[in-house]
Structure 1
Amino acid sequence: MAFPERFSSLPEYAFPRLRKLLDKHAPGGSPISMTIGEPRHAMPGFLAETLAAHIDEFSVYPPNDGSPELLAAISAWIGRRYRAEVGPERIMALNGTREGLFNAALALCPETKRGKRPVVLMPNPFYQVYAMAALALGAEPVYVPATEATGFLPDYAGLPRETLDRVALAYLCSPANPQGVVASRSYLTDLLALAEKHDFTLLSDECYSELWRDAPPVGALEVVAETGADPERVVAFNSLSKRSNMPGLRSGFCAGGVQSIARIRQLRAYAGAPLPLPLQRVAEKAWSDEAHVEANRLQYVEKYHIADRVFAGVNGYRTPEGGFFLWLPVADGEAAALKAWVETGVRVLPGAYLARDVAGQNPGKEYLRVALVAPRDETERGLQLLRQCLYA
């Protein structure tokens, strides 16, 4: 039997790879999982009541693009959060942002760019669905280092002109997973100008936008509104997984220009799986309420401060500006993750598992990604054990 070769270069996914590294060894203490970015704070109290009130709507097919009420709630949230007028016709509800980040590429990437194979840019390290989308398209994924030397954001403008002229799509995550940095207004403004100059679309992954330390991160839609840039240059993605502690709801959205969203909607109509209507009702309520979001954010801010205290004096430690990951410097991520597990029972992810080797270099090799998702006391205990084990 013949199988496609376009995915043959993919390494094993991060978490099966981690299990192979760690599970043959006994933990050195009561296990503490700090690997996956799965929020463990309390879900908002209105979830059960809203779901129960609309339980009968499981009996109908849900609106493919999102119910009018949900799209209106998202539109209003974008207006409050980013001071941008984005009507419902420029929004589509998603079954989680991973679906949208993949399908937007399928819907928007041309088969060729200037008569050549198109390029899809992504930061390195990165959320692995970006590479899957590029490979599924037959496009060329270009992994651009997002390292300390570049401020942990990709320097797309520094790429050769012949590469930029072939770019069809460019992914960006801000606040960044895994590094926790936030793209500035000037960074996004310059990136949109680059997209206009070289005729490509920015896919802006903003699912950590409501988890921040000092100030709300700027968003791509906000910069479009401020600068008067072409709305078709951007598709922004967000979800309720991190903002509202509901990763199992699988509810997100994408927003962009009318033409881009129309193409994404058309693809969904043929091949997508819309969110069940009772879950859309919960999402509508969640996008309309900020009290639970603020309470959630303050818990992460407290854990930022705990991490700062625990890792004070560690050479190369950086406090996150947003999101819920620490990007901890170590000599070797795999060796450090194994040592932490065997000696303490704390389970963390080697940074190399989130990146690709380019020219013999992996920008995640000398890092660990540590998720701050557990309750406060468990998080503090895990961080203290890591400090004692890896930095004594």
Structure 2
Amino acid sequence: MVREALKLLFLITAYNFILHYLSGFLPFDLFPQNLEDILIVLSIVSALYLAWLFGYREKTVIWLAYVSFFQVVGLSLVRQDYTVIPQFVPPLLITVLLIWLFESPVEKRVKELEENRKKLEEELLRNEEELSRLTEQINILKELIEGLSKEKENIEKQLERLKQEESIERQALEREKEELNRRLEENQKKLKDYMERLEKLTRVNKELFEMIEIMQEKEPKGGKEELIRLRQERKRLSRELIQLQELLEELSQENIELSQRYENIKQAFEKELREKELLKLEIENLKGSLVSSKDIYEEIFNIFFDNIEFEEKAIREFIQLNVEAKKEFIKELFLLNMKNYDDKFESMKGYKNILKLKPAGGRIYFTFGEKKRWKVLGMLWGEDDKTKNRYVRELLVKYKR
């Protein structure tokens, strides 16, 4: 800018000097010869030059040139000397022509400002479009996060419900099984006692029959009374034997029923075990769907954050956040995605190249990425200092200086 001003000043001085020099070889003067007229020409030329230096060619310089021309005409009329016009007009025209060839500093500055304004407007338009796109992406991401969070809550509730149902049903079957085992053991003991009594009665009855037969053969003195007594005893024992047999049949029938119930319970228990295995398989599938949500989040992050890579631990920690916390963390991550290395960040003292962001209610710890610009190492929700210190020690142990 200074070079252009000096160059124009030199050209104006040089060409006016040439006009003064040529005036000595021509029959008329192209430049004033007396000191007063020279000062007038110099004042006009200086005014035009200063008007160019601090104004516009098409505005300030042109109207000032017109004013100067009419001043020259007026001066010739006042002096009644028309030779003033050929002496004053050539320096005026030369100066105006030279000024017209050079862009003024003000015009350059205005032009630069205009170009900068256009660039800023274009950049603002691009930023608005980018902001609109990011807003849409944030809304989409929020919807995805809310959907995944609801799906996660539903899966967790379903898992809890299935576990409770399994526990209640298993406990009921266990109690019924224990009750049946207890009753079976009691009946088996009773059956054993009855069998022993039956064997004993059978043996006694057999002995009585033998004694009766022997006594009938011998018929000792007083044998009839003894025989009658023995026969009565035999009848009593026979009745008791019949009762025992009936009781044994009832007990056997009850044992059969209990055995049948035991088999039914056993089958139900085996069925419950099979259902338990199926339930475990279903739980594993549900857990697998929970694990797959990490892959979904990872894919979403890769789509929306083209300048950030994430550790698996950071993604798992993000999944565990509630919806409001996820919104706050997403805002900070979008801002981080648009930042460069020369932007200012808060660094972690005592750790090499570890930086942190402070979303509302939490922290994001990151460093310089290997494949992308940034690499998020972990996300912590909470403001407790002890929790933060313990988390940082565990997470950033390999980055400690």
Q: Tell me the TM-score range normalised by the shorter chain.
A: under 0.3
More helix by share: 2
Structure with higher Rg: it is 2
User: Higher RCO, 1 or 2 (CA under 8 Å, sep at least 6)?
Assistant: 1
More strand by share: 1
